[in-house]
Chains A and B, each alone.
Chain A
Amino acid sequence: MDNALVIFFGADRVLFVFFGTEVYMTHLIGAVLYIVLAPFAGGLIAGLDRKVTAQMQGRHGPPILQPFYDVAKLLGKEKITVSNGQDFYVMCSLVFMVISGAFFFAGSNLLMTIFTLTAGSIFLVLAGYASNSPYAQLGAEREMLQIMSYEPMILLSAVGFYMATGSFNVGDIVTSGRFVFPYLAGMFAGYVFVLIIKMRKSPFDLSMSHHAHQELVKGLTTEFSGRTLALSEIIHWYENVFLLGFVFIFFANGEPRFIVLGVLVALVCYFVIVFIDNSFARMKWQFTLKSAWMVTLVFGGGNLFVLYYLRAVFQV
């Protein structure tokens, strides 16, 4: 498989040097594949999400391709915008999201990926603040709270990967030849927990919700309409693919069977999150923050401690 790639694309050739890092053809292929295919994969996942949700509630549910119809419709709607800054911020958010995912799938530095992702989320918060609508502003405030809740855990898992494989580079992690999951089981549990917050699923769908509890109307996206709303949908698609990709690297180590395992576990995680989404009412923001930091401390911190101990005592 690797050899075929090398012969086909000249995958081992260094294309150019970017901030002291050699960029290989394989990196570029990963990034381009993400940019082109992630919207389709993300849209399909969103469609499956809605279908499965409907089935769980005893409904028939919309067609799987529904998210694509929605976005196509939104792109054709009249442009109504209360502040031009809003559209600009949403566009910025999309750009940063795409860059962040592209870094990740190019096998680049995990920390840089996470920081770019945060920039993308912050631009979305700014878009919420851009209008004077109280719903959008409250949504933006809650979105910031959510960022505060999930960010430490995601950063800690990056550190965990470094401790387990000796590198922050996604490329090195997925070809390390070492099955890191047993070393990072706590990190994994913590990451899946904050994934619920990051994906804005119940019980942590504070800032905006696709459910019918509408005390914030549509929260962060209340003032978006037409094209802007479509873009924010597309941001979610890119984001979800990236987040599931993060689950994947807990398992991938270069061997085909672990690659299959990684994809399967990512899908199972998503299913579990949809299940939780359907079986919980919304929690208060205090609970979100406290529980997320608790989980980060216990699972993330505990795991880091164990890794450190193993390293010091057994030199693993």
Chain B
Amino acid sequence: MSIKKSPWIIHYDCSSCNGCDIEMLACLTPMYDLERFGIVNTGNPKHADVFIVTGTVNTQNIPVVKQIYNQMPNPKVVIAVGICAATGGIFRGCYNVVGGLDHVIPVDMYVPGCAARPEAIIDGIMKSIDILAEKQAALDEGVVPEEICGGYIYEGEHDEHGTLITDEDADAAEEEQDVGATPDQEEQE
């Protein structure tokens, strides 16, 4: 399958110490040469098949991550590189850190390490290519993209734990307020 031979990547560095970002770029240098596998660093979500995220996802960059994810055509895979992207890492618990990329978009592969070594990153990409091929095969058989690749990710508000505040949540919160308000109003009357 040709998608296995030409996975194009887009790389987004959320924040943190940028160690994983540098290691990711090291993969493209003559030393490691990702392009020998047909991998191109596109910098354009519309051309990419593999979304590589490094660093901690925080409330500031959640919309960016989601937008890149939504703009990528199916089939696509997401790789969380480094422990920051996987769980929040040493920044876990900070006031704005949501604790892992998988709170925001579906993740297919985690590459551990602080910082993740280029060898590990290349290994992760090569393994994710198999997932990519599986998804392509499923799509070719007529499975709807939402079932395997995750559908459109709603670009809404998040609470402090990174959980999406859905319309239902908002309604429920409003109702609670209403319920709380009623006795006071009665008293006043």
Contact = CB atoms under 8 A, between A and B. Distances in A.
Interface of A: 50, 54, 57-63, 66, 68-70, 72-73, 76-80, 212, 214, 217-218, 221-226, 229
7 contacts: A59-B33, A69-B2, A212-B41, A214-B43, A217-B43, A222-B44, A229-B47
A73 B49 CA distance: 10
Nearest to A218: B44
A47 to B, nearest CB: 11
A58 B140 CA distance: 38
Contacts of B74: 77-78
- Among B33, B35, B37, B75, the one with the most A-chain Cβ atoms within 10 Å of its Cβ is B35
A226 B35 contact: no
Given A61-B33, A76-B2, 15 more contacts: A54-B35, A62-B37, A66-B38, A69-B6, A70-B2, A73-B2, A73-B3, A73-B49, A77-B74, A78-B139, A212-B28, A217-B44, A223-B46, A224-B46, A226-B73
Contact of B36 (A58, A61, A222): A61
**Residue in B2, B6, B46 whose Cβ sees the most chain A Cβ within 10 Å:** B46
A73 B73 contact: no
B161 interface: no
Contacts of B30: 57-59
A109 to B, nearest CB: 38
B44 to A, nearest CB: 5
B6 A60 contact: no
B47 A218 contact: yes
B136 A225 contact: no
Central interface residue in A59, A79, A212, by most chain B CB within 10 Å: A59
B38 A80 contact: no
A62 to B, nearest CB: 5
A221 B42 CA distance: 11
A236 to B, nearest CB: 15
B73 A78 contact: yes
A212 B37 CA distance: 17
Contacts of B127: none
B112 interface: no
Nearest to A226: B73
A225 B139 CA distance: 17
Interface string B75-119: 100000000000000000000000000000000000000000000
A214 B74 CA distance: 23
Nearest to A57: B30
B47 A225 contact: yes
Contacts of A59: 30, 33, 35-36
Contacts of A50: 35
A70 B37 CA distance: 12
4 smallest CB-CB distances across A and B, nearest first, come from A72-B2, A78-B73, A225-B46, A69-B5
A61 B38 CA distance: 8
B36 to A, nearest CB: 4
A289 B79 CA distance: 43
Contacts of A62: 35-38
Interface string B1-22: 0110110000000000000000
A80 B44 CA distance: 13
Contact of B6 (A73, A217, A223): A73
B63 interface: no
A69 B73 contact: no
A218 B42 contact: yes
Contacts of A223: 46
Given A218-B43, A229-B47, A80 B73 contact: yes
